[in-house]
Amino acid sequence: MIWNETKECMGRDEMTALQSARLVKTVDRVYHNVEFYRKKMQAVGLEPGDIKDIEDLNKLPFTTKADLRDNYPFGLFAVPNNQIVRIHASSGTTGKATVVGYTRKDLDIWSECVARAMTMAGVGRDDIIQIAYGYGLFTGGLGAHAGAEKIGATVVPMSTGNTKKLTTMMKDFGATAIACTPSYLMHIAEVLEEENAIGDIKLKAAICGAEPWTDNMRNTIEAKLGIKAYDIYGLSEIMGPGVACDCQYHRGLHVYEDHFVPEVLDTETLEPLGEDEVGELAFTTITKEGIPLIRYRTRDLTSISRGKCDCGRTLCRLSRFKGRSDDMLIIRGVNVFPSQIEAALLEMSGTTPYYMMIVDRVNNLDTLEVQVELDEKTFSDEMGNLDAYAKKIGHVIQQAIGLAAKITLVEPKSIERSMGKAVHVIDKRKLV
Amino acid sequence: MFLKQLSVFLENREGRVKDVLKVLKDNDINIVSLSLADSSDYGLLRLIVDYPKKSKEILSENGFTAVLNDVIVVKIAHKAGKLQEVLEVLCECNVNIEYMYALSTGSDDASIVIKASDIEKAAKAIEESSLEIVSKAEIRSM
Ligand SMILES: [Zn+2]
């Protein structure tokens, strides 16, 4: 099944014409409504009239996460606040959140995109779907929810945190689909195995995203649960989940190009690369009203393929993500930058103790340990004081990144120093 | 009336206590008493040594986190109820004991190292009682 055959199977020329028309409109809108873009375009001598079609995209300046931060909270919005009906936010590198706003039309398009992804995964109006992403400022929960409602499925808004309740309802309701992070689904599969309940579930499809995973992980999940699992991609800056999704042929994630124009850039020169060449992914939103972004650099490394897919869709496909061009980590679906930990420690003690983040995956759930070197200023002859210090660090880190971390105090100089750039992360998760 | 206690932070790694003791031994520091407190993640080694300041400097130079702090060392005769007497004195003046551990000072008596919530008050109360506080000189002669 294809949700929107007109758009998803559109001929290339027609798509290019549609993208061109929408890009021209978008550029005109940001030039006149967003000071940031007007100044950026003026700085390189560009006027809206200079952008005539999609071929002109690479004349336009880039947008980065730092730009969103510098214009916190609403500086990049292209409409007055009375047209914004929803705000979402994700953690930024320095404590300040990245804030995005949606108009009613933006929310419609978002649910349309998620509806396409759900349909791609074979989910429809006869299905009962559990949404097990976090609901709230994070785009995962509400984003997946709206798309599932749009296709007419029976939506169970589980959110995260109570696996026991989730598996019970999965059995009792006869849930046929689930949307959650792949690592959480692995965990759910194990809980079901322990309960000896795999035979009692009616699950047939999972739409997983918000963190990187591998074909191997997909195969394991599919085999354990006897289901089909699909990869959904998105980022809040562009919209949320549903920017791209893979079909049953798993030949890359189809991008909803009529709304988001992808480019892959050389990581050194930032020049656009050709088909199947790996570089940094950038998106230009061409229908977004609330916060349209021009050539937004995602930092995700991937490549684009354009050949027609066996599913019949003509939408281009992103290959499996090859990592990131910055140091962002995704832990339990949450974006974490080492600099956030650094800033939290600095704020707490006035100096930055040497620290190391150790990320691992235990029982298919991500774990974060932060080792902090103790110095003579913070050392005490009383155990209670040391425990309190560790607890306080844990608290400020949780405040900063929204994740609980195990804090281990270690001796000075015991964390290995690297010769070049400081290494603050050991990621033991094996994504093979 | 106070003695300097040396506290050293230790990760729960094999051989770390031994490493501390070796550094001290190589520098001719005599350890009169020690106590080890630990949690699942780290340990805290508390030492009474003959030259605490020098010991701290040496340990810091060798990459250990060490601090000095004041404790009271009270002599207790090898007689039933002696420790009880010490605790009663402290209890009466409303001082809490953060931790304590023993050291042997001779064949007739032992001593107890005490870290109290209010060390000035504790020392004063002990001095005013019939109990005896161990001096720096006594430690060095052990
Ligand atoms: Zn396909």
CATH number at residue A255: 3.40.50.12780
- Taking residues A364-383, what's their average pLDDT? 87
Q: Which of A348-352, A356-360, B1-5 has the highest mean pLDDT?
A: A356-360
Please indicate, yes or no, whether residues A6 and A68 belong to a single structural domain of this protein.
yes
> Under a CB-based contact definition with an 8 Å cutoff, are residues A311 and A249 in contact?
yes
Q: Is the pLDDT of residue A367 over 60?
A: yes
Distance between CA A45 and CA A43 in Å, rounded?
6
Q: Is the pLDDT of residue A99 over 90?
A: yes
What's A63's DSSP letter?
B
What does the block give as tokens for A276?
């199947």
CA of A353 vs chain B CAs: smallest distance (Å): 13
More confident residue, A220 or A116: A116
A19 CB-near residues (< 8 Å, 6+ apart): A54, A257, A258, A261, A286
Q: Is the pLDDT of residue A193 over 60?
A: yes
Of the three residues A265, A295, A324, the one that is the final residue of a domain is: A324
Please indicate, yes or no, whether residues A289 and A363 belong to a single structural domain of this protein.
no
ipTM over 0.85: no
By Cβ distance, the residue of A379, A384, A413 closest to B9 is A379
What is the enclosing helix (H) or strand (E) of A331? strand A329-331
CA of B101 vs chain A CAs: smallest distance (Å): 13
- What residues in A contact B46, CB-CB < 8 Å? 381
By Cβ distance, the residue of B39, B42, B67 closest to A376 is B67
More confident residue, B65 or A418: B65
* CATH fold label, B3-68: VC0802-like (3.30.2130)
Mean residue pLDDT across chain A = 92
What does the block give as tokens for B72?
């009271």
By Cβ distance, the residue of B11, B46, B67 closest to A410 is B11
A305-345 residue pLDDT tens: 998 899 999 999 999 887 787 888 888 888 888 878 888 88
- Taking residues A175-188, what's their average pLDDT? 92
Residue A73: asked if its preceding bond is cis (omega within 30°), the reply is yes
Please indicate, yes or no, whether residues A110 and A243 belong to a single structural domain of this protein.
yes
Q: What is the pLDDT of residue A92?
A: 55
Closest CA relative to residue B52, chosen from B93, B112, B5, B7:
B5
B70-124 residue pLDDT tens: 999 998 887 788 888 888 999 888 889 999 998 876 777 788 999 998 989 999 9
What whole-number percentage of chain A has pLDDT above 90?
Answer: 71
Closest CA relative to residue A329, chosen from A420, A255, A429:
A429
User: Is residue A33 packed enough to be buried (19+ CB in 10 Å), middle (13-18) or exposed (0-12)?
Assistant: middle
Please indicate, yes or no, whether residues A167 and A275 belong to a single structural domain of this protein.
yes
Of the three residues A324, A343, A378, the one that is the final residue of a domain is: A324
Please indicate, yes or no, whether residues A136 and A263 belong to a single structural domain of this protein.
yes
C-alpha dihedral, A74 to A78 to A82 to A86, nearest 10°: -60
Please indicate, yes or no, whether residues A236 and A190 belong to a single structural domain of this protein.
yes
Are B10 and A410 a contacting pair at CB < 8 A? Answer: no
Q: What is the pLDDT of residue A95?
A: 59
HEC string for chain B: CCEEEEEEEEECCCCHHHHHHHHHHHCCCCEEEEEEEECCCEEEEEEEECCHHHHHHHHHHCCCCEEEEEEEEEEEECCCCHHHHHHHHHHHCCCCEEEEEEEECCCCEEEEEEEECCHHHHHHHHHHCCCEECCHHHHHCC
Q: Which of A218-222, A278-282, A338-342, A376-380 has the highest mean pLDDT?
A: A278-282
Largest CA distance in chain A: 74
Q: What is the pLDDT of residue A216?
A: 78
CATH superfamily of B70-141: ACT domain (3.30.70.260)
CA of A413 vs chain B CAs: smallest distance (Å): 7
Q: What is the pLDDT of residue B104?
A: 75
Q: What is the pLDDT of residue A45?
A: 96
CA of A161 vs chain B CAs: smallest distance (Å): 27
Q: What is the pLDDT of residue A289?
A: 98
> Under a CB-based contact definition with an 8 Å cutoff, are residues A121 and A231 in contact?
no
- What residues in B contact A387, CB-CB < 8 Å? 39
Q: What is the pLDDT of residue A234?
A: 94
Can you give the residue range of the structural domain that contains A422? 329-431
Interface test with B, best of A381, A410, A417 (most B CBs within 10 A): A381
Q: Is the pLDDT of residue A431 over 70?
A: no
More confident residue, A24 or A337: A24
Which part of chain B has CATH 3.30.70.260? Answer: 70-141
> Could you tell me the pLDDT band of residue A188, with boundaries at 50, 70 and 90?
very high
Which has the minimum average pLDDT: A22-26, A79-83, A126-130, A211-215? Answer: A211-215
Report the amino acid identity of residue A197: A
The interface residues of chain A toward chain B in range 380-409, judged by CB-CB distance below 8 A, are 380-384, 386-387, 390, 408-409
Please indicate, yes or no, whether residues A88 and A122 belong to a single structural domain of this protein.
yes
Q: What is the pLDDT of residue A422?
A: 64
Q: Is the pLDDT of residue A94 over 60?
A: no
Which has the minimum average pLDDT: A189-203, A277-291, A370-384? Answer: A370-384
Nearest residue on chain B to A407, judged by CA atoms? Answer: B41
CA A132 from chain centre, in angstroms, equals: 15
Q: Is the pLDDT of residue A127 over 70?
A: yes
What is the enclosing helix (H) or strand (E) of A388? helix A383-401
Q: What is the pLDDT of residue A374?
A: 86
> Could you tell me the pLDDT band of residue B20, with boundaries at 50, 70 and 90?
very high
Q: What is the pLDDT of residue A35?
A: 97
DSSP A270-301: -PBP-TT--EEEEEEESS-SSS--SSEEEEEE
Of the three residues A324, A341, A358, the one that is the final residue of a domain is: A324
Are B39 and A387 a contacting pair at CB < 8 A? Answer: yes
- Taking residues A145-173, what's their average pLDDT? 96
Please indicate, yes or no, whether residues A69 and A218 belong to a single structural domain of this protein.
yes
What does the block give as tokens for A161?
């945190």
Q: Is the pLDDT of residue B37 over 80?
A: yes
Are A375 and B65 a contacting pair at CB < 8 A? Answer: yes
- Taking residues A61-81, what's their average pLDDT? 95
Distance A259 CA to ligand 1 centre (A): 18
Please indicate, yes or no, whether residues A154 and A252 belong to a single structural domain of this protein.
yes
CA of B59 vs chain A CAs: smallest distance (Å): 12
Is the minimum CB–CB distance between A274 and chain B shorter than 8 Å? no
Q: Is the pLDDT of residue A416 over 80?
A: no
> Under a CB-based contact definition with an 8 Å cutoff, are residues A298 and A325 in contact?
no
CA A93 from chain centre, in angstroms, equals: 15
A388-414 residue pLDDT tens: 999 999 999 998 888 899 999 988 777
- What residues in B contact A382, CB-CB < 8 Å? 98-99, 115
Nearest residue on chain B to A375, judged by CA atoms? Answer: B65
Please indicate, yes or no, whether residues A308 and A339 belong to a single structural domain of this protein.
no
Question: Measuring CA to CA, how many Å separate A214 from each of A232, A339, B140?
Answer: 13, 27, 66
Please count the structural domains in chain A.
Answer: 2
Question: Measuring CA to CA, how many Å separate A297 from each of A36, A65, A215, A300?
Answer: 16, 8, 25, 8
Residue A373's CATH number = 3.30.300.30
Which part of chain B has CATH 3.30.2130.10? Answer: 3-68
Q: What residues does B67 pair with on adjacent strands? A: B7
- Taking residues A16-41, what's their average pLDDT? 97
Closest CA relative to residue A305, chosen from A391, A246, A225, A231:
A246
Interface test with A, best of B41, B48, B96 (most A CBs within 10 A): B41
- Taking residues B35-58, what's their average pLDDT? 91
A225-266 residue pLDDT tens: 999 999 999 999 999 999 999 999 999 999 999 999 999 999
Q: Is the pLDDT of residue A47 over 90?
A: yes
- Taking residues B20-31, what's their average pLDDT? 94
Please indicate, yes or no, whether residues A408 and A311 belong to a single structural domain of this protein.
no
Please indicate, yes or no, whether residues A233 and A369 belong to a single structural domain of this protein.
no
